[in-house]
Amino acid sequence: MLAVEQSPDRKAYLRKRHLHRVIVLMTQIMLLLAFLLVWELVANARLIDPFITSQPSRMLATILRLHYDGSLYMHVWVTFVETFWGFILGTGGGFLCAVLLWWSRSLNEISEPYLVVLNALPKVALGPLLIVWLGNGSAPIIGMALLISIIVTIISLVSGFQDVDPDKIKLLQSFGASRLQILTKVVLPSSLPTIISTLKVSVGLCLVGVIMGEFLVSKAGLGYLIVYGSQVFKLDLVMVSIVILAAMAAILYFIVSFFEKRLLRWQK
């Protein structure tokens, strides 16, 4: 396959776009470093109490301590695994339910008020029930992540399926297409951006659900570290756990974004 020669204007545009991305990235990094530097200086000057707010140097020391005793990776791994299973079960179950509701209009109309109520219900209120039903291991934590993510997934996907151009559906119906063919040939491909956006939201909600579950019942995980650190007034441990959670959330988001680019490229 012959390579297409790019015009000088096209090359200049690509260079300008690449330079813009580099400038944005460097600005973001510099802002973060400046924030950490100011935080450290203000804490050293005792303008804020480092015992309450911690400071970057103390947080780094806590990370190194957790690294050397091996507990850091254990807690991160526990939270990651629970988030992974909550995400798989929540998005998988939500996708199947959304397809079923799209398939049956009557079922969709019947279930709509229940979905609205369940979406508005604070899921943490169900935490004690999950502990009684599922025990005090990882199961209630994964169950909490599942409850938080699955309802949002169902509502978002059903809305996306219903927004598909009806003219395309009528065209396939005029050719005698079955319900399954309409789903696979029109509805799912047209709803791919909605599916990806729902995955981005769901992965964050799963992480929130896992931390909420670990607040209630856990023996390991980042949520456990936050609760333990606050109980014994080791706020350095709390801040480190929050920073690691932010990094984990960013990594999970970028993983979904990576697959988004591949899927949208395949769709085109």
Position 1 scores a pLDDT of 43
Mean pLDDT (whole number) for 43-59: 87
As a whole-number percent, the residues of the chain with pLDDT over 70 amount to 96
Position 2 scores a pLDDT of 45
Mean pLDDT (whole number) for 127-147: 88
Return all residues near 196 (Cβ < 8 A) that are at least 6 apart.
Answer: 256, 259, 260, 263, 264
Position 266 scores a pLDDT of 63
- What pLDDT band is residue 98 in, cutting at 50, 70 and 90? very high
String of DSSP letters for 25-49: HHHHHHHHHHHHHHHHHHHHTTSS-
Residue-wise pLDDT tens digits, 4-48: 566 777 778 778 888 888 999 899 999 999 999 999 999 898 888
Mean pLDDT (whole number) for 131-157: 89
Distances (CA, A) of 52 to 31, 38, 252: 23, 16, 30
Rounded CA-CA distance 226/238 in Å is 5
- What pLDDT band is residue 137 in, cutting at 50, 70 and 90? confident
Residue 195: both structure tokens together: 């599916």
Position 31 scores a pLDDT of 95
Mean pLDDT (whole number) for 203-224: 89
Rounded CA-CA distance 182/70 in Å is 52
> Is the pLDDT at 263 greater than 80, yes or no?
no
Residue 80: both structure tokens together: 């990651």
> Is the pLDDT at 267 greater than 70, yes or no?
no
What is the 8-class DSSP label of residue 219?
A: S
Q: CA-CA-CA-CA torsion for 52, 53, 55, 58, nearest 10 degrees? A: 40
Position 5 scores a pLDDT of 66
Rounded CA-CA distance 100/111 in Å is 11
Rounded CA-CA distance 264/127 in Å is 38
Mind listing the domains of the chain with CATH numbers? 70-267 (1.10.3720.10)
Q: Pick 12 or 86 by higher pLDDT.
A: 86
Residue-wise pLDDT tens digits, 223-238: 999 999 888 888 889 9
Position 123 scores a pLDDT of 83
